[in-house]
Chain A
Amino acid sequence: MSFEAMLRLSEVLLALVVLQTALEHFWQGRDRALYAARIALCLWVLGGWHAGIAIGGLWISSLILLHRFGGPYNGGADKMTILITTCLSAAHLFPDWAELAMAYLAVQLVLSYFVSGYVKIKNPDWRSGQALIDVFRFSAYPVSERLRGWAGQPRVLWLMSWSVIGFEVIFPLTLLHPLALWIGMAVAATFHFANACLFGLNRFFWIWICAYPSLIWFQERVLG
């Protein structure tokens, strides 16, 4: 994938994801002026005319939203949105450093999996499956009361725990071969999809996929 194609694909995916979240907020009737501006900026990016300016506008409005909500509205999904917006803004603002900005995004994406897996593997509750049992048993995260029944399936949750840990710590190795990377991204997307279905974290699924083009380009550029 060429750098230009990766940059444009990342912009379009980001605009579609931010548009979806902005429409949700606008529909709920909260902070409508700000979200109307974000909707307009997303349409501007999709139109493709000097998209860098609109990306910069999205970056500024993201900072305003951070202040408005006293932090991220949607945790890690918002942080990843800001990271992608920052890297794309930097790529437009400093063309000589554009590759470095997008490589930074790719490395952060790999670290998002590896560090998460490393933290889990160090935690005895994750190694025994107890952490996931607790998540289903009494945390605020399952999307329905019926899903709490999964807490009574310790063997299934132990297997799920180690599947997640294994994929996360191994993920950096997928950079060694293009096919391995595609398989790794498919597994990662499946993981995010499961989180979206079980815990309602739909924004994580879409925004993490936004960063995948940078990873495909990075693998080709550095190791291809």
Chain B
Amino acid sequence: MLRDDQKTDWAESHPIPDHVGPLQMLRRMFWNPERNTQLYMVALAERLVSGLVDHSKAELNRLIAERLDEHDGQLQFRLVFMTSEAAGITGTVVYESELQDLAELRA
């Protein structure tokens, strides 16, 4: 969530693409920094809810802020863990961070 005096909707950070073709898969065998960052963020999310809060929160803030370099304002993130239940797939918010100044995160 970003604020330039106005609230915005939650947006997924580092979303996976709709489609990855065979050639792109092959290229990713040799050069895959984006995907490896995504996997690191998954590990950070799991560590954060397991109790390793300070480091994981700082790293997630830093990585999300890197993606928002053209924005000003404040950043807040939340973690939604998915589970499969009889009624279908359910998302549960397991963590919500406090607001952080983007300028502070970039300093």
Chain A residues at the B interface, C-beta cutoff of 8 Å = 20-21, 24-25, 27-28, 69-75, 134, 137-140, 142-147, 193, 196-197, 200-203, 205
Secondary structure of the B side of the interface? helix
Chain B residues at the A interface, C-beta cutoff of 8 Å = 16-20, 22, 25, 28-33, 35-40, 42-44, 47, 52, 55-56, 59, 82-84, 89
**Which of A70, A72, A196 sits near B29, CB closer than 8 Å?**
A196
Task: Give the docked Cα–Cα distance between A191 and B43 (Å).
Answer: 22
**Which of B28, B43, B52, B83 sits near A200, CB closer than 8 Å?**
B28
- Point out the residues of chain A lying under 8 angstroms from B30, CB to CB: 20, 202
In the complex, the answer to whether B16 meets A145 with C-beta atoms within 8 Å is yes
In the complex, the answer to whether A138 meets B82 with C-beta atoms within 8 Å is yes
Given contacts A70-B44, A197-B25, 13 further A-B contacts (CB under 8 A): A24-B31, A27-B33, A134-B84, A137-B89, A138-B89, A144-B20, A196-B25, A200-B36, A200-B38, A200-B39, A202-B29, A202-B30, A202-B36
Output the nearest chain B residue to A26 by Cβ-Cβ distance: B33
Using A134-B84, A137-B89 as known contacts, say yes or no to A200 and B19 having CB atoms under 8 A apart: no
Number of A-B contacts (CB under 8 A): 83
Output the nearest chain B residue to A28 by Cβ-Cβ distance: B33
In the complex, the answer to whether A146 meets B28 with C-beta atoms within 8 Å is no
Task: Give the docked Cα–Cα distance between A70 and B18 (Å).
Answer: 31
- Point out the residues of chain B lying under 8 angstroms from A144, CB to CB: 16-20
Using A70-B52, A70-B59 as known contacts, say yes or no to A145 and B36 having CB atoms under 8 A apart: no
Output the nearest chain A residue to B39 by Cβ-Cβ distance: A74
- Point out the residues of chain A lying under 8 angstroms from B82, CB to CB: 138-139
Output the nearest chain B residue to A75 by Cβ-Cβ distance: B43
In the complex, the answer to whether B20 meets A74 with C-beta atoms within 8 Å is no
In the complex, the answer to whether A200 meets B32 with C-beta atoms within 8 Å is yes
Taking the closest CB of chain A, its distance from the CB of B88, in whole angstroms, is: 10
- Point out the residues of chain A lying under 8 angstroms from B47, CB to CB: 70-71
Task: Give the docked Cα–Cα distance between A137 and B30 (Å).
Answer: 27
**Which of A69, A145, A147 sits near B40, CB closer than 8 Å?**
A69
- Point out the residues of chain A lying under 8 angstroms from B44, CB to CB: 70
Taking the closest CB of chain B, its distance from the CB of A213, in whole angstroms, is: 20
In the complex, the answer to whether A200 meets B17 with C-beta atoms within 8 Å is no
- Point out the residues of chain B lying under 8 angstroms from A138, CB to CB: 82-84, 89
In the complex, the answer to whether B18 meets A146 with C-beta atoms within 8 Å is yes
Taking the closest CB of chain A, its distance from the CB of B69, in whole angstroms, is: 12
Q: Can you offer 28 A-B residue contacts whose CB atoms are under 8 A?
A: A20-B30, A24-B31, A25-B33, A69-B59, A70-B55, A70-B59, A71-B47, A72-B43, A73-B36, A73-B40, A74-B39, A75-B43, A138-B84, A138-B89, A140-B42, A143-B16, A143-B35, A144-B16, A144-B17, A144-B18, A145-B17, A196-B28, A197-B28, A200-B32, A200-B39, A202-B28, A202-B36, A203-B36
